[in-house]
Amino acid sequence: MSRMWRRESALLQSDVEDVHRARARRWRSMTAPPMPSSSVFAATLCRARGARASWRMSRHVASRAFLALERFDSWNDASDAVDPSLRTRVCGMSCDKVFSCAWVDARTVVFGTKCNRVFEVDVGRRRMSRADDDESMKTNDVAKEVFIQRGDESESGGTYATCVNATREIVLASGGDAHDVCLLRFQSDDSRAAGCETSSLASSLEPYCALRGHTDVVYGADFITRDIVATCARDGCVKIWRAPPPPLSGAAVPTSRGALETVYPFTSGPATRVRGVKYLDDLSCPTLATITTHGHISRIDVETASCVDHYPMRGYIETSCIATNGSIIAAGSRTHIGLCDFRTSHLFDSVALPRRNTDSARSLSFIDRDMLVVGGGHGTIAVFDIRTRRWLMTSVPMGNGLTRCAVEFELVHDAPCVPFDEERLTAALWADGDARSLMVPAIFCHAFDETFARLFVGGGPLHTSLFGSFAGVWS
């Protein structure tokens, strides 16, 4: 352990050219139904949190709740006398699927996209400005582009990993042709950093260092301590880095080209594609958990930097997401969710997804250790109770009586995440049921704030060839 922490990383300066490509597309506004004010989901969350407050969607955003690709709609108080034209800003850039997200503080969310861009969203801001209106520049943007990494998305894969350390000092984001892991800090003005370049839009975050060492797409990252971070990639390895502290001045830290330790959970075969890594903080020794595309969970001892155990989940296809509550690991695949308890060292359950989420679990998270939240491939959120081993259920009319089914919250209702235009998609095509299923966004990422009072959701079309994105905040 001491040898790993004492090793110094070789730092070299690296400059990366800006490859910002402006696109112009016209978007239709996206709509969404209100979140039910009284439901099993709300009641269960309140019981778990010991609170009386219920989940609801703000009355001010019932029809304009989501951040579209080029049409960003903001939250407005009913008492504000604001020109409706200021509520929407049409900007000249576009972004593809939202792959990762993290709450920086109580009002700020950072999310990364398939096109290697990182955006900062101020969910507490109550009004929106227009870029082409000087008078409207008195207000700040709700969504601000932090930086863009170089490289084509077909080769770089996109920003799959975004996370924040415990002290809220460092924000991490992956992406780019070189498959760097970029570190961002809070700042007051725009500046240029190694490995990436800041946007012309004002932002409270700026990149200051790049961790370079992976040879393929970085799929996951998680902080072990305040300055130690673990990353995993499609190259089949897990790397442990020491993140340099943010400098006090505006200068950038040279690019780090060496990891403290590198672990290969598997040496060959299709299972080498490591899709996620999580740090477990409720065990006797520092432990990492990884998941591969073919459903192999690996247990890594951080002190010895070695893989100590494997847990194969046979029959799992397209395992793509992982979550932990500190001791239990949840891994999501196309049809099932596997649960593994590292305290007893065995897989203790395999849960079939609800009937409408058969397009796989795309994102997972825990609420108060016992409630597992699942983001599905059809724009829905479902909740699984680990204690009772059941999905949260509700009664729905069926024939002459009622039937029990899993509670699924539709975050998108009759709102495509793929834009309409004359050349590709039309309203008539959206009316086709088969085509509609391709344009409903999958929930690739979601994250609760520290109080579990708000949920940020991001995603896009499940089909790889379709361009589009979706992001929204629920309260």
Query: pLDDT tens for residues 191-245?
Result: 433 334 433 334 578 888 888 889 889 999 999 999 999 999 998 899 999 998 8
Q: What is the pLDDT of residue 145?
A: 62
Cβ neighbours for 249, distance < 8 A, ≥ 6 positions apart:
none
Q: Which of 382-386, 397-401, 419-423 has the highest mean pLDDT?
A: 382-386
Contact 94, 441 (CB under 8 A): no
- How far does Cα 364 stand from its chain's mean position? 10
Q: What is the pLDDT of residue 22?
A: 32
Cβ neighbours for 423, distance < 8 A, ≥ 6 positions apart:
none
Which residue intervals of 173-218 are DSSP H helices? none
Q: Which two tokens stand for residue 425?
A: 């998609």
Which residue intervals of 60-193 are DSSP H helices? 153-156
Q: What is the pLDDT of residue 434?
A: 58
pLDDT cut 70: percent of the chain above it: 56
Q: What is the pLDDT of residue 328?
A: 93
Burial 360-379 (b: 16+ CB within 10 A, else e): bbbbbbbbeeebbbbbbbbb
Pairwise pLDDT comparison (145 vs 170), residue with the higher score: 170
Mean pLDDT across the stretch 380-392? Answer: 87
Q: Is the domain covering 2-76+86-474 a CATH 2.130.10.10 domain?
A: yes
pLDDT in tens, 138-159: 333 445 566 555 555 555 678 9
Where exactly are the structural domains of the chain? 2-76+86-474
Q: What is the pLDDT of residue 156?
A: 61
Which residue intervals of 306-412 are DSSP H helices? none
Q: How many residues does the chain have?
A: 475
Cβ neighbours for 212, distance < 8 A, ≥ 6 positions apart:
14, 178, 179, 180, 181, 195, 255, 256, 257
What is the maximal distance between C-alpha atoms in the chain?
72
Which residue intervals of 279-346 are DSSP H helices? none
pLDDT cut 90: percent of the chain above it: 18
Assess whether pLDDT exceeds 90 at residue 442: no
Strand extents, DSSP E, 285-370:
287-292, 296-301, 306-312, 321-324, 328-332, 336-341, 346-352, 361-367
pLDDT in tens, 292-345: 888 889 999 999 888 888 888 888 888 889 999 999 999 999 889 999 998 887
- What letter represents residue 80's amino acid? D
Q: Is the pTM of this model over 0.85?
A: no
The region of weakest confidence among 63-77, 135-149, 281-295 is: 63-77
Secondary structure class of 377 (helix, strand, coil): coil
Distances (CA, A) of 446 to 1, 30, 362, 453: 34, 19, 10, 13
